[in-house]
Structure 1
Amino acid sequence: MEADIVVVGGGTTGPIAAIAAARRGKSVVLIERFGSLGGNLTLGLNTKPSGALVGGLPLEIWNLARSVGGAGEDYMAVSKSGGVKIASPCDPEIMKMLLTRLCAEAGVQILFETFVSSPVVEHGEVRGVVVESKSGRQFVGCKVLIDCSADGDMAAKADVPFVMGAGDATTTMQPVSMYFTMVNVDIKRLADWARQTDDVPARAIPEKDEDLAYGLWLTGFNGSLRKFQQDTGIKLQRENITLKTADGQLYVNATRVLGVDVFSPKEFSDAVLECYRQVDAYARFLKERIPGFENAKIAQISPVLGVRETRHVVGEYTLTEHDVLDGPYFEDSIAADASALDIHDPKGADVDFRGMRPYEIPYRCLVPKGVEQLLIAGRCISADHGAHARSRNMPACMATGQAAGIAAAVAVEDGIRVRDVPVPKVQEILRDLGMPIHGNQIN
């Protein structure tokens, strides 16, 4: 198979990149190892961008989900550190279908249940990828490859330099986890209790009961968790947990496993087993200690492990912690992002979740060093461990996917290297899509 552009990874980032490129008339192949799109957003049951969607394709898709009852309205979550504007969770099953439909309507060729073994690089330039499926080993040629694998798999296999986690001797990375859902929860009773307790310091609780289906978000339960562990002898790995609703179901973000090398099949598998142990324990905790859960039961456990951090591919510019905290102006910015600062301490302490001023992501963070006709998008862009606390979140991943898709299309149109793409042209296209480029363009 031959295409103008190949996108590796159909998670949160890849479909946006593929749609953006295909809508400019380019032939695009999107390759996904599972049988549906969305990754952690859908399969992983994460469902919620940790921040606002400020424009472009990401906002278009969320508005489409809202129009069919698959997402609620944005809400303001409050915590000790202030307010955080958050796009409401989506219904993961509806989102799977919407992402696939938009890809099909744009002309994207999706290859499900297909694993990309490696990129093919000749004379320092990507020529395509080798894929594995039930048909065996095959080749897909392209003019531009976009790595949306989340782990920077294509960049690493093309010998692009990268940094693991914080880049220290212990390769410190944010922990892995696994979402699960519970049904038969009395959500109104839970919301009424949460309004009265001081054990849930971070919250978004709608005033109207009809808004609870998508608008309830609760983080805390620290005191209740400590007491539960003292009483039962069960050891858990988080000081707080988060509950949220989507389409009336209760989604639980509670499990955590520290120090996992996700590139080790054994360690990865052991982490899945540990998450199952914790799912069982947290479900018991909620049923026994939290009002509204008296008749609840586990409905679904994510079939994929949620991985927050692995490789940071080294690009022409590395986004720094200073950049995402202070929000400097970048001439070559391709997205202004309003994601929260969301740090799961690698050593196991409390989660640091804070709303902050918008920051900008330079195009150079998407252009890896040393290889031509390769772009990176999603959580593996060129960013340090501190910047990753914001750039790993879904709004940023979708924004970099959109920019990479447009830049790849421009490179094909103009017959140039992605490294030489005129950023002002990409910015103009993004503005036409309603995407803010600079931080001062977000209210």
Structure 2
Amino acid sequence: MKAFTYSASVPVLAECDVLVVGGGSAGCSAAVAAARQGARVVLLERYGFLGGTGAAVLDTFYGFYTPGLVEKKVVGGIPDEVVGGLERRGVLLKRPNTYGAGAGLTYDPETLKVVWDELVSAAGVRVLLHAYFADVIQDGPRVRGAVVGTKRGLRAVAARAVVDASGDADVVARAGGPFEDAGALGIAQSLTTTFKVINVDVARAKSFPKKELWALMEAAASEGYRLPRKEGSAHVTPFQGVMVTNMTRVAGVDATDPDALSRAEMEGRGQALEYLRFLRDKVPGYERAELGGLSVNIGVRETRRIRGEYWITREDVLSARKFPDAVARCGAPIEEHHAGGDTRWEYLPDGETVDIPYRALLPQGLENVVVAGRCLSASHEAHASIRSIGQCLAMGQAAGLAAALAKGGDLRGVDVGELRSRLLEMGALL
């Protein structure tokens, strides 16, 4: 077979069956699923660790369970292995449905990085950390690979099939696939810088009623505290004296705009210190609290969403619609972090779930690209339900498996019945 060449000025770094762009929850899950089918897999990640938002911003997996009176587990397979790796190390706790999105699985983000290291290594994935996706190598509707920024300059990675798990649909956008840009439309959900608080009297902080906390936020805002969000939360962790917050709100940001994203990062850090000042001054249990760390980057909820072979709607979510090509399930409510001080919630019927169809992962106009994670094909409202990490993990294993099964990279030619059967064998819940 003739060796792949791209450009004399851009040497070829790797050739593979499946290239996964983005080493977050969706991308790692996709890489493991594809490699276990015998595919040669390359996983690109811009940071020096895997786990994405789950390791850099958050410490809780949501979306594993339905909220409400009837709790059902809706995610399984590779996600269970991740949870198991955390549990075996004693850094996992299940928190009850205290906020609205259902039970959460809270963990140590630093340990999560190691769990993913072990899973991808055992599967035989070639991992390229500190590797930034720069551009596609394209032949009409087929993406033949990617140009990657590395410490040794630009390099080319050739691939038969590509999983876009970038979160921002970077591959689809660069390849000319259609998408809806929430930031450009001014409808993108707000961004959040999370922060860790140490030296907390956890018992007192935990027992302080949520509504009283929100009332203090309202009052503090009139006293000169700059608190854009008036109903943020703080929760317990596996560690003594440590709480983690989800409080800050940076609204009106197009997170694909380099200048806007840079300003948002700085604004989020400033807000974090102001919320910490409020907690110390006003909230029982935080009198001696100190900043234990900021999220590695600001948490981005929504940017580009692809236009796929199917577009999931608000009505699909709220009616708990089922699809014959379902590859994952979601029971999480529509949780919209808009520009105001509160968060809007809309719930599915108690204990119900909406299916995520395989078609919603296939971008229109591209033959050998499949997406996984929050850049799936869904409306703004539907996306506000399906973007949870539990669903990103589930979509990832489906996308990676499909990419490995795709003959010649033809992702539309994948036998959906076989795909679903193999997902069930892996422990997925469909």
TM over 0.5: yes
Q: Is the 8 A contact 2:183 2:252 kept in 1?
A: no
Name 2:359's counterpart in structure 1: 364
CA distance in 2 between counterparts of 1:293 and 1:416 reads 54
Q: Is the 8 A contact 1:50 1:340 kept in 2?
A: no
CA distance in 2 between counterparts of 1:18 and 1:188 reads 41
* Residue segments in structure 2 that go unaligned for 5+ positions in a row: 1-13, 66-73
Name 1:318's counterpart in structure 2: 311
CA RMSD of aligned residues (A): 1.7
Name 1:227's counterpart in structure 2: 219
2:248 to 229, 244, 255: 255
Indicate yes or no: 2:95 matched with 1:104.
no
TM alignment of 1:282-431, pairs within 5 A: 282-345=275-338, 347-353=339-345, 356=348, 357-411=352-406, 414-415=407-408, 417-431=410-424
1:264 shift after superposition? 2.2
CA distance in 2 between counterparts of 1:433 and 1:371 reads 28
Name 1:440's counterpart in structure 2: none
1:84 shift after superposition? 4.8
CA distance in 2 between counterparts of 1:43 and 1:166 reads 22
* Residue segments in structure 1 that go unaligned for 5+ positions in a row: 202-219, 438-443
Indicate yes or no: 2:136 matched with 1:141.
no
1:6 to 5, 19, 24: 19
Structure 2 residue identity aligned to 1:61: V
Q: Is the 8 A contact 2:141 2:365 kept in 1?
A: yes
1:354 shift after superposition? 5.9
CA distance in 2 between counterparts of 1:342 and 1:89 reads 19
Render the CA deviation track for 1:307-339: whole Å, top value 9, x for unaligned.
110111110001111111111120111111233
Indicate yes or no: 2:171 matched with 1:154.
yes
CA distance in 1 between counterparts of 2:234 and 2:32 reads 32
CA distance in 2 between counterparts of 1:144 and 1:259 reads 35
Aligned with 2:61: secondary structure? coil
Q: Is the 8 A contact 1:51 1:84 kept in 2?
A: no
Name 2:77's counterpart in structure 1: 56
CA distance in 2 between counterparts of 1:55 and 1:234 reads 43
Name 1:215's counterpart in structure 2: none
Aligned with 2:130: secondary structure? coil
1:277 shift after superposition? 1.6
TM-score by length of 2: 0.90
Indicate yes or no: 2:173 matched with 1:181.
no
1:48 shift after superposition? 3.1
Q: Is the 8 A contact 2:179 2:306 kept in 1?
A: yes
Distance 1:187 1:20, change over 3 A: same
Q: Is the 8 A contact 1:338 1:395 kept in 2?
A: no
Distance 1:184 1:92, change over 3 A: same
Distance 1:50 1:343, change over 3 A: farther
Name 1:246's counterpart in structure 2: 237
Q: Is the 8 A contact 2:369 2:411 kept in 1?
A: yes
Name 1:214's counterpart in structure 2: none
Identity %: 35
1:221 shift after superposition? 2.2
TM-score by length of 1: 0.88
Q: Is the 8 A contact 1:70 1:95 kept in 2?
A: no
CA distance in 1 between counterparts of 2:296 and 2:154 reads 26
Name 1:89's counterpart in structure 2: 106
Structure 2 residue identity aligned to 1:137: L
CA distance in 2 between counterparts of 1:267 and 1:280 reads 20
Name 1:441's counterpart in structure 2: none
Q: Is the 8 A contact 1:124 1:370 kept in 2?
A: yes
CA distance in 2 between counterparts of 1:235 and 1:184 reads 23
2:89 to 68, 71, 75: 68
Render the CA deviation track for 1:283-310: whole Å, top value 9, x for unaligned.
0111111111111100101121111101
Render the CA deviation track for 1:163-194: whole Å, top value 9, x for unaligned.
11288xx43110111110010001112223x2
